[in-house]
Amino acid sequence: MPDAVILRIRPGVRIETPLSRLARFFAAASGWRRYGLAFLLGVLLAGTMPPVDLSPLIFIAFPGLLWLDNGSAGAWASFRLGYVFAFGFFVAGLYWIAEALFVDIARFWWVLPFAVAGIPAVLSLLPAAALGLTALATRRMQLAGVARVCLFAVLLSAAEWVRGHALTGLPWNLSGYAWAGGFPGAIALLQTTAWVGIYGLSFLTVLAGSLPALMGTPPPMPWSMRRRLAPLIAAAVVLLVPAGAGAIRLALTQTKYTDIWLRIIQPSIAESLKWNPAAAETNFRLLAQLSSAPAQHPLTAVLWPEAAAPFFLGRDHVHRADIAAVAPPHGYVIAGALRGEPAAGPITRIYNSIEAIDGTGTIRAVYDKAHLVPFGEYMPLRDLLPFKKLTPGAIDLSPGPGRETVALPGLPPFSPIVCYEAIFPGAVVDESDRPQWIFNATNDAWYGRSSGPYQHFAMARTRAIEEGLPLIRVANNGISGVIDPEGRVVARTALDAVGYADVLLPAPRPRTPFSRVGDWPFLGLLIAGLLPALLRLPTVR
């Protein structure tokens, strides 16, 4: 015992703490235990996303991963570890994709393994590469703990940026969306996206979540509480400084409204009935009935969800007249609908569109969805792959020209976006012709009561903050709602609810820094995150 006491006070000797013992346990894990822990940590990270919203799990998932990686024998071992971690994250976070297949499971049962495991297997390559490169650089450049953590945050958030842009892009469940749900106070930190976008918030989230990993290193003597808690204090600063700025922003801005009343329609038509020809007329009558209900305020527009009208309205003057009959006086029904071209004769092109119809039955404006869902709305490499897209119809949908602002008399100009177009940062508004609000028509009925509709809503909410514009989201079934420019949800509907809501359109804010300069601040954060590693360059052997 006396010898042990002498060792504890001898300068330079490191002492064990509960966290250092835990870190050593993780590093020593091997075989299935090692990869099982990695998978579990990935699942825990998915728990930070809506609807679970346990944002503090970042302080378990990222340190746990880095502690496991302390036991990696090389960059390839780190790659494998990162792959299993990311696979757990994507399996838990994207399981809702498989839910869509059960709408017609008899036809698409064979796609189920691809949806459950195939998509996560592909997406996991980028986070795996981030951890592998971190390990490689750590060994080659002899990086210290802080430099390693910063490099990991840079590479993982850069991998998310690549995921959001490569091929058609899938920026779903980025790390920054850990603050887009219902965790108390998270909306203050989400305001950061007005300055640095969601990718910038992802970098801050990964950095803050990873810094406590440094507490797994046994502290040297002489020991001090301040030095020991430095990583935790640094993590708090990384999050609390922008959260404080966000809280000030929220305190200084209250939701302001225009004098425009809108009616949002949520029919909650089951996907199994959505394209059933026998149910088409019944579905249409439900939309018309909800639209024609008496209003306590003069309406300017009635908003229908994605593909609400089951008919080609440009060719169908009868149903167009029915829509005109429920349009507000001097107003519009703005409906999601499929649109066929040419206007007469055999249809060769179909668009997923938003069409504005006035009280005379005239289509006053059309927007065609530009960012289509691969395999759902069109088949990539159709000539090589021997099967059809997974949604009804034999013809692939055609993309529209891109972002545009729709201006209609009596209605503030708006940016229409359809379904998952809302998940793409910096791509929901034509900044050269800036609108005053965003209209997101969607159909999340495919995904039942899974996490998908909640995550989709949270991402649309983030676009409102990034752009400084109110967003009106109208879903067939999913979550419809009204979001102000600071991301406050001022009205929303529940899953499976059938009905309508008359809402005032919030007023827009001035352009945000993100809407002006896009991802350049994110690049600045990445460069700043590289500095601790770059400062080690002179010591590289």
Lookup: tokens for 212: 């406590």
Closest CA to 330 of 406, 261, 413, 404: 261
**β-strand 481-483 against 471-475: which pairing, if any?**
antiparallel
Q: What is the residue-wise DSSP string for 246-269? A: HHHHHHH----EEEEEEEEEE---
Instruction: Cis check for the bond before 51: say yes or no (omega within 30 of 0).
Output: yes
Q: DSSP secondary-structure letter at 118?
A: I
Q: CA end-to-end span of the chain, whole Å?
A: 42
Return d(Cα 413, Cα 365) in angstroms, integer.
12
Per-position b or e across 48-70, b if 16+ CB within 10 A of its CB: bbbebbbbebbbbbbbbbbbbbb
369 is catalytic: yes
Lookup: tokens for 398: 């055609």
306 is catalytic: yes
Residue tagged active-site, from 274, 355, 369, 467 = 369
* 3-state SS track over 30-89: CHHHHHHHHHHHHHHHHCCCCCCCCHHHHHHHHHHHHHHHCCCCCHHHHHHHHHHHHHHH
Q: DSSP secondary-structure letter at 210?
A: H
Residue tagged active-site, from 150, 271, 274, 306 = 306
Return d(Cα 281, Cα 241) in angstroms, integer.
55
Which residues have C-beta within 8 Å of that of residue 359, sequence separation ≥ 6?
324, 327, 328, 329, 330, 331
Q: 341 has which bridge partners?
A: 349
How many residues does this entry show for the chain?
Answer: 541
Residue tagged active-site, from 150, 271, 419, 421 = 419
Q: What dihedral do alpha carbons 112, 114, 116, 121 form, nearest 10°?
A: 170
Largest pairwise CA distance in the chain: 96
Number of H helices, E strands in the chain: 21, 12
The residues assigned a catalytic role are: 306, 369, 419
